[in-house]
A and B are shown apart, each in its own frame.
Chain A
Amino acid sequence: GAGVSQTPSNKVTEKGKYVELRCDPISGHTALYWYRQSLGQGPEFLIYFQGTGAADDSGLPNDRFFAVRPEGSVSTLKIQRTERGDSAVYLCASSQDGQGLYGYTFGSGTRLTVV
C-alpha cells in the first residue's frame, strides 16, 4: 500500500485479556518499528525489526509484550494479560533502511484502551 496501515484503529479490552495489533508496512521497507505513545508523552521505542528478525527489542517493557514479523512484511504486536497502564496509542513505522536518516513513515496508530 501507499502508507503504513495499522489495524484496528481503536481497541477496547478488559484488563487481563490478550490483544493483537497489526501493522502492514510500506511495501519493500525492510525496517519496521513499534513505538508507544502515552497521553501527553512523545513516542517511546518498543522494538525494531530488520527483515524477519527483531534486531532490537530493548524497549519492550516486560515479557507480556511480544512482536513478530514472520515473513518480513506484516508485523503483529501481542500483549498478554493486559493492564490499565498499557493504555496508549501504539504506533508502527517503517523505513527503507535501519538508520532512520530520512525519518520513518508512521501509521495512524492503534489506540488501545484497557478497562
Chain B
Amino acid sequence: DQQVKQNSPSLSVQEGRISILNCDYTNSMFDYFLWYKKYPAEGPTFLISISSIKDKNEDGRFTVFLNKSAKHLSLHIVPSQPGDSAVYFCAARGDHNTGNQFYFGTGTSLTVIP
C-alpha cells in the first residue's frame, strides 16, 4: 500500500514561472520529509527537507510547505529554470518502528519550457 503519493506524474511549466509539485501521505506518524531530484541515469539527489514541527522551509528558489492536518506537502520552485527539468520524488521518514526507512512517492516529471 502506497503511503506516499504523488498523483501528478508530469508537470510542464514555462521558464520563469512557479512550479508546484504536490505530495500526500497517509501515516500521521511520519515526522520528517524530503524532496529529491533525479536526472536520467543518475541516482536521486537531496534537494530540501522539512521537519514535522515546521510548516515551511526555504532554500533559495526552493520552498517546501507542510500541512500536517491535511497530510500534504508541496514543493515550490520559483522562478523555474530549464535545468530544473527532472523527476522529483517526495519521501517521508518512517515512524518509530521504521525510522531508518524512507517511503518514496512515485515521482513527478517536471519539464520547464524555455
Given contacts A101-B32, A105-B46, contact A41 B106 (CB under 8 A): yes
Are B104 and A42 within 8 A (Cβ)?
yes
Q: Does B101 reach chain A (CB closer than 8 Å)? A: yes
List the one stretch of A53-61, A66-74, A75-83 in contact with chain B: A53-61
Residue-wise interface mask of A (37-64) relative to B, using a CB-CB cutoff of 8 A (1 in contact, 0 not): 0001111110010000001101100000
On B, residues with C-beta under 8 Å from A are: 4, 6, 32, 34, 36, 41-47, 49, 89, 91, 93, 98-107
Cα A82 to Cα B31 in complex, Å, equals 36
The reply to whether A4 and B32 contact each other, CB–CB distance below 8 Å, is no
Which residues of A does B touch, CB under 8 Å?
4, 33, 35, 40-45, 48, 55-56, 58-59, 91, 93, 98-109
Contacts of A101 in B (CB 8 A): 32, 49
Contact assessment for B41 and A103 in the assembled complex, using a CB-CB cutoff below 8 Å: no
Which residue of the partner chain B has the closest CB to A102?
B46
State A35–B89 Cα separation when bound (angstroms). 14
Decide: A42 near B4, CB < 8 A? Known: A100-B93, A103-B49: yes
Collect the chain A residues with CB atoms within 8 Å of residue B103's CB. 45
Q: How far is the CB of B27 from the nearest CB of chain A, in Å?
A: 14
